[in-house]
């Protein structure tokens, strides 16, 4: 595709999925990407591949500040280089630069209840921000993040009791409607 000035059109994700741990961003993102015939880019996985370390290890060994820096850089890179479905880590939207970079993108907030999140992720030790009293930590985290997810999202999709295929189909309808 070419822009009006003859240069190449900027690369943009078809949809950016945001939400808390357990919302299904990666799982729904994979189904959505398949439906659209595009790739899925998960920023947490990209960071793990680039560093050769798990997100948990980065948090525990180097601290949240370093992880958030790596995350901010990866999200910025992916927003300009990936033309498929982009799944962000749950806390990525808390970074002011990342939040600003999402403006104008199709951002879908996958909303989830604690009951569904617990079933999906089990609140195990691989989630560093949920390591101590996981249920209470998740509720506190979600109460703090919900306004940010809602403010940045073009669309909100409730995932409660729904299959990844059903959620992806709804996201697909929203994306095809063309409303950012």
Closest CA to 176 of 14, 26, 38, 3: 14
Average pLDDT over residues 53-67: 90
Q: What is the pLDDT of residue 1?
A: 45
Q: What is the pLDDT of residue 113?
A: 64
Going by pLDDT thresholds of 50, 70 and 90, the confidence category of residue 106 is: very high
Q: Cβ-count burial of 147 within 10 angstroms (0-12 exposed, 13-18 middle, 19+ buried)?
A: exposed
Q: Which helix (H) or strand (E) holds 41?
A: strand 40-42
Closest CA to 47 of 21, 69, 20, 15: 69
55 three-state secondary structure: helix
**Angstrom distance (rounded) from CA 38 to CA 32:** 9
Residue 44 lies in a domain: yes
Q: List CB contacts of 82: < 8 A, sequence separation 6 or more.
A: 11, 13, 39, 41
Going by pLDDT thresholds of 50, 70 and 90, the confidence category of residue 139 is: confident
Residue 60 lies in a domain: yes
What DSSP designation does 8 have?
Answer: B
Q: Structure pTM?
A: 0.86
CATH number at residue 60: 3.40.50.300
Residue 111, domain extent: 15-177
What does the pLDDT look like over 143-159, one tens digit per residue? 888 899 999 999 999 99
Tabulate helix, strand, coil % of the chain (nearest 5): 55, 10, 35
Residue 95 lies in a domain: yes
Q: What domain count does the chain have? A: 1
- For 88, phi then psi, to 5°, come to -95, 150
Q: What is the pLDDT of residue 149?
A: 92
Residue 117 lies in a domain: yes
Residue 125 lies in a domain: yes
Residue 8 lies in a domain: no
What DSSP designation does 81 have?
Answer: H
**Angstrom distance (rounded) from CA 41 to CA 76:** 13
Residue 10 lies in a domain: no
Q: What is the pLDDT of residue 56?
A: 85
Closest CA to 168 of 11, 32, 14: 32
Residue 3 lies in a domain: no
Q: Which helix (H) or strand (E) holds 142?
A: helix 134-152
Most confident region among 75-79, 108-112, 116-120, 133-137 by mean pLDDT: 75-79
What does the pLDDT look like over 14-28, one tens digit per residue? 999 999 887 889 999
């Amino acid at each position: 595709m070419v822009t009006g000035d003859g240069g190449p059109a900027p690369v943009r994700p078809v949809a950016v999925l945001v939400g808390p741990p357990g919302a299904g961003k990666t799982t729904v993102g994979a189904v959505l990407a398949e439906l659209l015939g595009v790739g899925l880019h998960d920023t947490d996985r990209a960071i793990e591949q680039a560093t050769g370390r798990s997100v948990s290890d980065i948090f525990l060994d180097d601290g949240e500040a370093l992880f958030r820096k790596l995350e901010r850089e990866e999200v910025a890179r992916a927003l300009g280089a990936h033309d498929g479905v982009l799944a962000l880590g749950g806390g990525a939207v808390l970074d002011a630069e990342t939040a600003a970079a999402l403006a104008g993108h199709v951002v879908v907030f996958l909303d989830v209840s604690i009951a569904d999140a617990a079933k999906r992720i089990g609140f195990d030790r691989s989630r560093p921000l949920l390591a101590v009293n996981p249920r209470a930590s998740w509720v506190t985290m979600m109460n703090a993040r919900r306004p940010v997810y809602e403010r940045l999202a073009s669309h909100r999709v409730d995932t409660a009791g729904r299959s990844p295929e059903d959620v992806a189909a709804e996201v697909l309808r929203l994306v095809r409607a063309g409303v950012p």
